[in-house]
Amino acid sequence: MPLLRVEEAQGRILAHFRPLEPEPVEILDALGRVLAEDVISPLDIPPFTNSAMDGYALRAADTAGTSREKPVALRVLGNAAAGYPVDLAVVPGTAVRIMTGAPLPAGADAVVRFEDTSEAAGQAERDLESSILIEILRPAEVGENVRLAGEDVAAGEIVLRAGAVIRPQEVGVLASLGRKTVQVHRRPRVAVLATGDELVAIDEPVTPGKIRNSNEYSTAALVLRDGGIPIRLGIARDNIEHLTAKIREGLEQRVDLFLTSAGVSVGDYDMVKNVLASEGQMHFWQVAIKPGKPLAFGQVRGVPLIGLPGNPVAAMVAYEAFARPAILTMQGRTAQSHPALRAVLDEDVTNSGRRHYMRARVRRQDNRYHVTTRGSGVNVQGSGILSSMTWANCFVVVPETVTFLPAGSEVEVQIPDLMNI
């Protein structure tokens, strides 16, 4: 069977996914999710013209030609505090003492900072409030230190568009519009099922011939990281009855996607393959990816199913390449690849005909990114060596067309989580 190119497999899978329907959520819960509506502002922001500084609101024309040597003195009409309307009106020769965020009094067109007035630091607040005259030490320009109503957002404006990813700044903008809830695409429910007679659960003893089921946890963690809701189904044994029952159990939980691990490779005892095939329409592929070559995709009772390989690192790499794009698409995300950068390779690397996602560590050094794979050895890059995933902070992606990369080459590095760099 010819190997399927990574993009070909991705394309065939993604053709079956669409953004899920919207649901209303509170804005903090919308973090990391995708807007499913255009958000229109019901008001001007700021809602009223106000001061950007603590100082004196005045008419710029009154300050023409003033200086520290020959200051203009203005009569202080009173105070304008943030949070309250002002009913003072500035007329020629007057000023209003104003705090940041306070409404600009009628007649004023500029604010001069305290620092540019005779109001000395350290002077008692009471004295300042009762002082009748203020000297302005610098000419003001019209509009100086004034924030105009609607300068940030105008009423009726589309502030955020459907498709926008909600980050902390979008949460803040939504709050400023008075939006408690917003429509975002629903998070997909993703069934996670490990298969294999050799597996024992996390709290069971490892008896001869058995290994712990780690895929269930790493896969569920990946689903969570990508915004999905993992529905953990535990372990299905390699027999028709148990596997069929587990798959039906998942289907009853209204999942949007099924992820299984193991039992899909060529030399495998093909129980998983048989059951999947008899429960739905399945395709079993060999993909030009390393690790992660065996992959299954299809539908069981109308629910898409991705059969990940069993080896723990292969399962994770195949998830990144094939399951993550599907899970993000269902959430309305269009940017699906991990952040990538170019880095200088520390050592020689060999490759043979598949796109190799090599575990690696990237670091910044001498103003460039450098990356090490610790070599192509099986003890590092073997598809079962899960501990090296905890050492790694990125993948070096070696194209399928490249057989040898000498030390010093520039390579593409994909970074699933920037926190680790």
Binding site for ligand AMP (CB under 6 A): 194, 196, 198-199, 211, 213-216, 261-263, 265, 268, 309-312
The residue count for binding Mg ion (CB under 5 A) is: 3
Residue 311 near which of Mg ion, ligand AMP, none (CB within 5-8 Å, type-dependent): ligand AMP
Closest CA to 290 of 259, 262, 317, 324: 317
For ligand AMP, give the closer residue by CB, 77 or 222.
222
Q: Which residue is nearest to ligand AMP (CB)?
A: 310
Q: How far is the CB of 330 from Mg ion (least distance, A)?
A: 28
Distances (CA, A) of 322 to 33, 116, 137, 328, 395: 20, 62, 67, 11, 16
Annotate 219-256 with b (16+ C-beta within 10 A) or e (fewer).
Answer: bbebbeebbbebbebebbbbeeebbbebbeebbeeebb
For Mg ion, give the closer residue by CB, 159 or 262.
262
Helix (H) or strand (E) holding 378: helix 378-381
For ligand AMP, give the closer residue by CB, 31 or 386.
386
* 262 part of the interface to Mg ion, by CB under 5 A: yes
* 312 part of the interface to Mg ion, by CB under 5 A: no
Residue 261 near which of ligand AMP, Mg ion, none (CB within 5-8 Å, type-dependent): ligand AMP
- Amino acid symbol at 82: A
Q: Which stretch binds Mg ion (CB under 5 A): 126-134, 194-202, 279-287, 334-342?
A: 194-202
- Amino acid symbol at 315: A
Q: How far is the CB of 178 from ligand AMP (least distance, A)?
A: 48
> What residues have CB less than 8 Å from 140, skipping those under 6 apart?
58, 60, 63, 110, 111, 112
Q: How far is the CB of 197 from Mg ion (least distance, A)?
A: 7
The C-alpha atoms of residue 112 and residue 98 are separated, in whole angstroms, by: 10
State the binding string over 195-224 for Mg ion (x if CB under 5 A, else -): -x----------------------------
Q: Are 24 and 73 in contact (CB under 8 A)?
A: no
Phi, psi of 4 (to 5 degrees): -85, 135
Q: How far is the CB of 366 from ligand AMP (least distance, A)?
A: 40
Q: How far is the CB of 361 from ligand AMP (least distance, A)?
A: 24
Q: How far is the CB of 199 from ligand AMP (least distance, A)?
A: 5
Q: Are 373 and 401 in contact (CB under 8 A)?
A: no
Residue 188 near which of Mg ion, ligand AMP, none (CB within 5-8 Å, type-dependent): none
User: How is residue 2 annotated by DSSP?
Assistant: P
Task: State the residues that interact with Mg ion by CB under 5 A.
Answer: 196, 262-263
